[in-house]
Amino acid sequence: MAEENVIELKGVEKTFRDFWMRPVAEAVRGLDLEVARGDVFGLIGPNGSGKSTTIKMILGLIRPTKGTVRLFGLDPRAKAARARLGYLPELSHLHPFLTAEETVLYYAGLSGMKRQEARRRMLELLEELKLAHVRRRTVGGFSKAVWIRSARAR
């Protein structure tokens, strides 16, 4: 694999099966894909064309039926690959009672960052995102979280 490929899929297929192992959906068939370092890449396709299934395989949440998926040249389920991965899901699951700064420190801790380094990066990041002035506010009150709460209430 070329060193600069961050994501690499070769001959990837995914067939979902039911309890009796009968195929229920052929979600992805014969997918080859290379995303190089620095690329901005989008998956576009009609509903049910296999975009989410492909992302889940790249994240290592599900395994392909056939073919190989490599993330930074590693199996996506490898800890070293996951430590370098960022993923923003459609619905966020941030803890509503943690403040912005506690949230960032929490995830920094999970990714194995040392406390002092985490604190420095947290301040840098919140500054860059123009969130420094609300860093002691709980994230449950931030706009996206509000939107998710009201969407669920409907």
Identify which of 74, 58, 63 has the alpha carbon closest to the alpha carbon of residue 3.
Answer: 74
If binding is defined by CB under 6 A, does position 61 make contact with ligand ATP?
no
Nearer to ligand ATP, 50 or 64 (CB): 50
Member of 27, 69, 71, 81 binding ligand ATP (CB under 6 A): 27
Cβ partners under 8 Å of residue 135, min gap 6: 99, 100, 101, 126
**CB atoms near residue 15 (< 10 Å):** 14
Q: Specify burial of residue 82 (Cβ count, 10 A radius: 0-12, 13-18, 19+).
A: middle
Q: Mask 76-105, x = binds ligand ATP (CB under 6 A)?
A: ------------------------------
Residue 79 beta carbon to ligand ATP: minimum distance, rounded to whole angstroms: 25
Residue 12 beta carbon to ligand ATP: minimum distance, rounded to whole angstroms: 12
If binding is defined by CB under 6 A, does position 51 make contact with ligand ATP?
yes
If binding is defined by CB under 6 A, does position 68 make contact with ligand ATP?
no
Tokens of 29: 């068939």
Residue 127 beta carbon to Mg ion: minimum distance, rounded to whole angstroms: 34
Question: Coil, helix or strand for 125?
Answer: helix
If binding is defined by CB under 6 A, does position 1 make contact with ligand ATP?
no
Residue 56 beta carbon to ligand ATP: minimum distance, rounded to whole angstroms: 8
If binding is defined by CB under 6 A, does position 41 make contact with ligand ATP?
no
Q: Are 42 and 51 within 8 A, CB to CB?
A: no
Helix 100-110 and helix 115-128: axis angle, to 10°? 130
Residues lying near ligand ATP in the complex (CB under 6 A) are found at 16, 24-25, 27, 45, 47-53
